[in-house]
């Protein structure tokens, strides 16, 4: 109940205050090709409340206007993966990484996809790339490390 209420509050804040979704998302890379886009901001808010299916068309609209937005590709991959379409999600993460090879969040999520599709060696390779990009540590490194450990403990 509290979690549902918190999600609604986060979504309301994200939709009410321009730029808030970008600030609370925490998943964005510093991509020079990204523009602030109302559909993108709404999609980020929807992702935060796990409304992945509702976020996808907004991200697709954003990408129609700005196909070079690595963050939108990353979020599209995230939402698609959460809905179980691993093949499309992998393509979307690939697009994000093609546009921004240092996009550690896309690497983290792609690593999680690799774990979900029984490819732990590929996830570990991405973990090594993230570690090189975050020598002092970062959230993406911590999260993928935890996911790999969890996957290994399940075996």
Calculate the average pLDDT of the chain: 84
41-97 pLDDT, tens digit each: 999 999 999 999 999 999 999 999 999 999 999 999 999 999 999 999 999 999 999
- Residue 40 has a CB neighbour count (10 Å cut-off) of 27
| Block residue for tokens 């609209």 | 61
Q: Measured between alpha carbons, how far is 18 from 53 in angstroms, rounded to an integer?
A: 22
| Mean pLDDT of the 95-100 span | 98
Contact 78, 109 (CB under 8 A): yes
**What pTM was estimated for this model as a whole?**
0.79
Residue among 113, 101, 123, 131 nearest 76 (CA):
113
Instruction: Check pLDDT > 90 for residue 15.
Output: no
Of the listed ranges 9-23, 24-38, 121-135, the least confidently predicted one is 9-23
DSSP states along 122-150: HHHHHHHHHHHH-TT--HHHHHHHHHHHH
């Amino acid at each position: 109940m509290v979690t549902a209420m918190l999600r609604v509050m986060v979504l309301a804040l994200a939709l009410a205050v321009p730029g808030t979704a970008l600030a609370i998302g925490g998943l964005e890379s510093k991509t020079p090709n990204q523009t602030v886009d109302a559909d993108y901001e709404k999609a980020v808010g929807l992702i935060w409340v796990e409304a992945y299916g509702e976020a996808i068309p907004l991200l697709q609209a954003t990408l129609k206007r700005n196909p070079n937005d690595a963050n939108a590709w990353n979020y599209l991959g995230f939402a698609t993966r959460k809905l179980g379409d691993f093949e499309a999600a992998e393509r979307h993460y690939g697009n994000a990484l093609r546009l921004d090879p240092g996009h550690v969040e896309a690497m983290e999520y792609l690593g999680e996809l690799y774990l979900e599709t029984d490819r732990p060696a590929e996830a570990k390779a991405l973990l090594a790339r993230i570690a090189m990009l975050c020598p002092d540590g970062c959230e993406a490194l911590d999260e993928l490390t935890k996911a790999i450990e969890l996957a290994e403990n399940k075996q």
